[in-house]
Structure 1
Amino acid sequence: MSLNLEPVIRLPQTSVDNGVFVAGERALPEETPVALTYNGSTHAVMMASPADLEDFGLGFSLSEGIIADPEGLTSMEIVEHDLGCEVRMWLQETCRGAYQSRRRAMAGPVGCGLCGVESLAEAVQTVPKVLGALQLPPSAIAAAMADLSNAQRLNREARAIHAAALWRPGQGLIAIREDVGRHNALDKLAGSLARAGESCFASMVLLTSRVSVEMVQKAARMGVPIIAAISAPTALAVRVADECGLTLVAVAREDSFEVFTHPKRIQRLGACISA
């Protein structure tokens, strides 16, 4: 198997409609094993779209708490192998001790499949409080999600790719990243924003996926006050969003959405009708 580094490729297929067979082709998303390594040791291997890997490496490092800011990495290199890619990262001296301690704590539990108290603590770890005071009218949610749909270049081709974007009132979409993995898309977004020095304080993160607890944790570390997603959240994601002060909007459609936590950031323009 040879490595392909295009995020979308076209492959042959046969369409069958009412018994009629028609040969053709379809654009499909590529996914590639991407190894994330620190100081020469592999930390994780993720299946990801082979694009924006520098953003992925930086965003993953930030959202996982391996570094506190971009300066925590002294260097990064993307290395292509026969079966995948490697994002080689080297940590500042001040980050190395904490990272090694974390690796020692995770080695046993993670090796046997997320068992043990240490791994449970890693899965549902404390995230920083979200302090942004952004307020948006309901119409802004619909406008932002429409902007997101229009900007999904790769998904228009392949119809199977997630997106994460940052949207800001008066400016619209600041950045968007796409990937076959929803977590990867958000990590890539976080990395691109950190690289550009963009603040998330008065902005909203948009997601094309369901909202699991990891997505809330990553968004909270970015400092974003509002998440808006096309699909529903998990119950744990709602509890964590409520605890950290993040406004969670989900099931967002053209004319409706649901607010699960901290509704004060969504301006009430009409009467509230109780179910």
Structure 2
Amino acid sequence: MSKSQVEVNRFKVKAQLMQLESDPIAVEEPLQISLVQNNKSEIFSLTMRTPGHDKELVYGLLFSEGIIENSDDVERLESQLHEGERQINQQEVILAEDISIEWSRFGRSYASYSGCGLCGKTSLQALELKQSRALKPIKSKIDNGLIRRLKALLAEQPLFSQTGGVHAAGLVYEKQGELILSKTPFFEDVGRHNALDKLIGHELLANDLNQAGLLLLSGRIGFELVQKAIMAGYSTIVALGAPSNLAIQAANQFNVALIGFAKDQSFNLYTADKNKVVCREPLD
């Protein structure tokens, strides 16, 4: 198996069966890129990526940002192994002496996550998880019938129905042990991270951030989405797509129930107690 994927164990839930299976998961790890010129090193970017083709990633990023115009503008790359990591996650770019970097053009040091951007963090230590609020566990059990209804909610989102080009994030409130699907606030955006930020902002402005609920996401689950959920105190995440390995690690660290590949007849439970789900086909 390549370094771009790992094997994890998860529970496959389908109708009345729950089976422990091995699942290949895409790896998500940080890559810190520093620019070196005249023996002075400056951190340029911290990006979350799937390991592999790091050289191409670095060159492509520098070209698209206008730092270099051709490969000759880079004298060499120097790879470093960050403490505690098994794979090289730091690249120092030794630039040609005649390359001029207008740092002010970038406004600030920036970092980006796989698929979207996280601004203002430029060290590997910046990825350390922080927990702003205590997790609010839900009492409701999850089964295939619930998953189907959650998927139906996502399909009804207006902007997605019209364009097919946006992600959605919604929060299904729980009251007295029952999930209230009819009052689910949803937010849509071309960026899945933005959709979740909009949802969290809505809850914060409405003073509802302390209310228990199930977070519903329309796409795959990367590290930053789990991090945002933890910061907001959400204890259960259901997504239509696949999680990354770092997303699973983060969810495990904070005991977040993480469900991916939510389909009409099945779903995968990657973290949390398997008693969280019910193996039955309820009457709708």
TM-score band by shorter chain is: 0.5 to 0.7
1:198 counterpart letter in structure 2:
D
- Cα deviation for residue 188 of structure 1 reads 0.2
Verify: 1:255 aligned to 2:259, yes or no: no
Verify: 1:165 aligned to 2:170, yes or no: yes
d(CA) in 2 for partners of 1:156 and 1:262? 33
Question: In the alignment, is the contact (CA less than 8 A) between 1:206 and 1:229 conserved in 2?
Answer: yes
5 Å-filtered alignment, 1:83-232, equals 111=109, 119-127=123-131, 130-138=135-143, 139-150=145-156, 152-168=157-173, 169-172=178-181, 173-199=183-209, 201-232=211-242
Identity of aligned residues (%): 30
- Cα deviation for residue 226 of structure 1 reads 0.5
1:180 counterpart letter in structure 2:
V
Q: RCO greater where, 1 or 2, for CA within 8 Å and sep 6 or more?
A: 2
Q: Secondary structure at the match of 1:254?
A: coil
- Cα deviation for residue 118 of structure 1 reads 6.1
1:125 counterpart letter in structure 2:
L
Question: In the alignment, is the contact (CA less than 8 A) between 1:230 and 1:250 conserved in 2?
Answer: yes
TM-score normalized by structure 2? 0.51
Query: Residues 3-26 of structure 1, C-alpha deviation per residue, up to 9 Å, x if partnerless?
Result: xxxxxxxxxxxxxxxxxxxxxxxx
Structure (1 or 2) with the greater helix fraction: 1
Structure 2: 5+ residue runs without aligned partners?
1-107, 113-120
d(CA) in 2 for partners of 1:112 and 1:187? 18
d(CA) in 2 for partners of 1:118 and 1:170? 40
Q: Which protein has the larger Cα radius of gyration, Structure 1 or Structure 2?
A: 2
- Considering only aligned residues, what root-mean-square deviation do their CA atoms show, in Å? 2.3
Query: Residues 97-147 of structure 1, C-alpha deviation per residue, up to 9 Å, x if partnerless?
Result: xxxxxxxxxxxxx73868xx9611212433356351433231222222212
d(CA) in 2 for partners of 1:202 and 1:112? 33
TM-score normalized by structure 1? 0.52
- Cα deviation for residue 220 of structure 1 reads 0.8
Q: Secondary structure at the match of 1:206?
A: strand
Structure 1: 5+ residue runs without aligned partners?
1-109, 271-275
Specify whether residues 184 and 118 from structure 1 end up closer, same or farther in structure 2 by C-alpha distance, changes over 3 A only: closer
Question: In the alignment, is the contact (CA less than 8 A) between 2:219 and 2:239 conserved in 1?
Answer: yes
- Which consecutive aligned stretches of 4+ in structure 1 deviate over 6 angstroms post-superposition? none
Aligned residues: 158
Query: Residues 14-40 of structure 1, C-alpha deviation per residue, up to 9 Å, x if partnerless?
Result: xxxxxxxxxxxxxxxxxxxxxxxxxxx
